[in-house]
């Protein structure tokens, strides 16, 4: 369940063209999100913002250079003109590792504020998350709508790196999602499961602290196993699709865009990491 108070905004911003602005306002965004879901008091907001500033500074200086280096190492491989499936799989795993490592920077702050929450704030959170789940169910209640939701997400991500995609590439992406649909129903079921675990742990301060620390160490720990299995299968299929089909249809211009964007994003992250 990705909406247990703090949103991991720095690495998520890799899909944003205004990385520096996102990094500068990450604490404000996270506090705003936390307030939306927990209806924080002014004192809680103040303490959360202060703690987040420290966490984000550490993440900027320690983790972002690692991410930048990974992007730089990938660029020469792209330049060779051949997408190695093993290399792609490795970088998929690296991204997941960065998310997990990055989330760990916020675990103590998350645990601290969790233990300060009152019953009415847990109730407020439950209402908000269940509303999100219901909205997701309505948005993806047919196979066609579910595919369209996934298609928009995947297309936006792909075009961020390579530029616009052709009609043929659009068709290939849609065909992939027809054959390997994203497991929306299981995701919603898993979010409900995670919410239940979280609310149950709120009855005991030590159990609550353990749940939050475990979540920020490994956010997959609270998921339903069947969702994790389905999601991993979907991700693996997408890796194969990118390496063995989609990559072969990239134009020289798209490959050039990818190389340039890898270096540009690496430079952006390095600048953010070096900022006082």
pLDDT, residue 29, reads 81
Q: What is the pLDDT of residues 65-104, one digit of tens each?
A: 998 888 888 777 777 766 566 666 666 667 778 888 888 9
Phi, psi angle pair for 105, to nearest 5°: -65, -25
Q: What is the pLDDT of residues 225-241, one digit of tens each?
A: 999 999 999 988 988 88
Q: What is the pLDDT of residues 179-189, one digit of tens each?
A: 999 999 999 99
pLDDT, residue 161, reads 84
Mean pLDDT across the chain: 85
Residue listed under structure tokens 């190492």: 73
Q: What is the pLDDT of residues 16-68, one digit of tens each?
A: 445 555 566 677 888 888 999 999 999 999 999 999 999 989 988 999 899 88
Q: How far apart are CA 185 and CA 211, in angstroms?
A: 24
Residue 209's pLDDT band, with cuts at 50, 70 and 90, is: very high
Q: What is the mean pLDDT of residues 245-263?
A: 87
User: pTM for this structure?
Assistant: 0.85
C-alpha pair distances (Å), 166 with each of 68, 77, 170, 225: 29, 23, 6, 37
Q: What is the pLDDT of residues 130-174, one digit of tens each?
A: 999 999 999 999 999 999 999 999 998 888 888 899 999 999 999
- The CA angle 33-35-37, to the nearest 5 degrees, is 70
pLDDT, residue 92, reads 62
- The CA angle 87-93-96, to the nearest 5 degrees, is 145
pLDDT, residue 16, reads 45
C-alpha pair distances (Å), 120 with each of 10, 20, 47, 196: 30, 36, 19, 16
| Res 125 pLDDT > 90 | yes
Radius of gyration of the chain (CA): 20
pLDDT, residue 6, reads 36
* Cβ atoms of 251 and 5 closer than 8 Å: no
């Amino acid at each position: 369940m990705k909406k247990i108070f703090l949103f991991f905004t720095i690495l998520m911003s890799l899909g944003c063209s205004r990385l520096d602005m996102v990094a500068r306002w990450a604490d404000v965004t996270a506090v705003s999100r936390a307030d939306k879901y927990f209806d924080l008091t002014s004192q809680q907001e103040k303490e959360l913002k202060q703690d987040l500033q420290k966490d984000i500074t550490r993440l900027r200086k320690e983790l972002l250079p690692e991410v930048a280096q990974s992007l730089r190492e990938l660029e020469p491989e792209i330049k060779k003109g051949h997408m190695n499936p093993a290399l792609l799989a490795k970088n998929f795993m690296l991204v997941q590792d960065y998310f997990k490592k990055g989330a760990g920077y916020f675990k103590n702050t998350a645990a601290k504020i969790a233990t300060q929450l009152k019953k009415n704030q847990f109730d407020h959170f439950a209402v908000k998350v269940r509303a999100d789940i219901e909205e997701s169910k309505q948005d993806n209640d047919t196979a066609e709508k579910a595919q369209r939701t996934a298609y928009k997400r995947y297309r936006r991500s792909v075009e961020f790196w390579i530029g616009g995609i052709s009609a043929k590439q659009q068709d290939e992406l849609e065909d992939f999602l027809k054959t390997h649909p994203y497991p929306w129903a299981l995701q919603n079921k898993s979010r409900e499961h995670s919410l239940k675990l979280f609310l149950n742990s709120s009855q005991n301060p030590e159990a609550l602290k353990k749940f939050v620390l475990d979540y920020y160490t490994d956010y997959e720990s609270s998921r339903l196993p069947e969702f994790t299995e389905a999601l991993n299968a979907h991700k693996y299929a997408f890796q194969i699709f990118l390496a063995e089909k989609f990559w072969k249809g990239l134009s020289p211009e798209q490959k050039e865009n990818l190389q340039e964007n890898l270096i540009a994003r690496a430079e952006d992250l390095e600048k953010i990491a070096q900022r006082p």
